[in-house]
Amino acid sequence: MAERVFVGLPKRLVKVSIDGQEMDVLEGATILDACRQLRIDTPTLCQLETLTPVNVCRVCVVEVEGSRVLVPACSRTVEAGMKIQTDSERVRHSRRLVLELLASSVDMSLCSPQVHGWMRRYGATPERFGENVATVAQPVKIDNDLYVRDYSRCILCYKCVEACGADAQNTFAIGVAGRGFDAHIATEFTAPLPESACVYCGNCIGVCPTGALMFKSEYDMRQAGTWDESQQTVTETVCPYCGVGCMLELHVQDNSIVKVTSPLDHSVTEGHLCVKGRFGFEFVQRRRG
């Protein structure tokens, strides 16, 4: 009864060395993939398995023998004979500086504990640039009932743009406007979301690593001081709307759904949802009176 299952064309193995360790990696894999295979914890901010690498944050850089500059591990594919250093002084210095520059101008307090761990590991001290240095601080944008945009927290990783664009949603409601320090994520003509092309899938929130994009429900609870992840459960279930069968992760606090995400590694959604799956859960809350 077993049917033919398409697994793609066979791939060759490539020999590389990472921090002196010889290994075989599948052709086409990135240096980051290889590092992960060796369980070398590599910092990343703009990289996500489901998105095309855009090489903007530079925090994953490694040293490759023969290369004049450091190379981004997230996008550079392995080549036979590559000799890679992931923890040289040059790599550590570069990673530290990237984290310091970002954290001095952007509020990174809501980044994952992992990011704070990298800050400690590389000895990042953003304060050393002084107080009131160049900053992106600005008021939170609240223009609809579903999610807020707090660009004080935006590190310009482009993930939201990629998820809204060709990598998933293909709506293209947002892009990067401005150049240099003025670069920022914007809708067309900086219109409020309800006047933009946005379809409220929330796939930008799903990929945001800093909390710049946030469910209104989470934002309101944080403002009220009631948001408490230690009191939350996460349960996997299936969206109740159409027949596609998107996997949902329901984040529940005090018997209320406080946000909805989807697993990155599930073949149906790859982490992405539509507006109904992401926000259409109110009907189960309201019957609790």
CB of 197 to another protein, least distance (A): 11
Per-residue DSSP letter, 20: T
- Give the range of 62-70, 76-84, 93-101, 271-279 binding another protein by CB under 8 A: 271-279
Alpha-carbon torsion angle 231, 235, 240, 241, nearest 10: 80
Whole-number Å distance between alpha carbons of 195 and 47 = 30
From the CA atom positions of the chain, what is the Rg in Å? 21
CB of 220 to another protein, least distance (A): 13
Q: Which one, 72 or 277, has the nearer CB to another protein?
A: 277
- Indicate which single residue of 13, 80, 133, 238 sits in contact with another protein (rule: CB under 8 A): 238
**Is residue 71 classed as helix, strand or coil in its secondary structure?**
strand
CB of 200 to another protein, least distance (A): 6
C-beta atoms surrounding 137 within 10 Å:
12
CB of 3 to another protein, least distance (A): 5
User: Residue 216: in which H helix or E strand, if any?
Assistant: helix 216-224
**Mask: binding to another protein, 68-107, rule CB under 8 A, as x and -?**
----------------------------------------
Q: Which one, 151 or 200, has the nearer CB to another protein?
A: 200
- Terminal Cα distance for the chain, rounded: 51
Q: Of how many residues is the chain composed?
A: 289
- Indicate which single residue of 51, 148, 157, 247 sits in contact with another protein (rule: CB under 8 A): 247
> 99 with 120: CB under 8 angstroms?
no
- Tell whether residue 197 is a contact of another protein (CB under 8 A): no
- Indicate which single residue of 15, 135, 166, 228 sits in contact with another protein (rule: CB under 8 A): 166
CB of 25 to another protein, least distance (A): 24
Site for another protein in 10-39 (CB under 8 A): none
Question: What are the tokens at 164?
Answer: 């809204």
Question: What are the tokens at 272?
Answer: 């992405």
CB of 32 to another protein, least distance (A): 22
Strands (E), 10-150: 13-18, 21-26, 61-64, 71-72, 83-85, 147-149
Q: Which positions touch another protein (CB under 8 A)? A: 1-6, 144-146, 166, 168-170, 193-194, 198-201, 233, 235-248, 250, 252, 255-257, 263, 265-270, 272-277, 279-284, 286-289
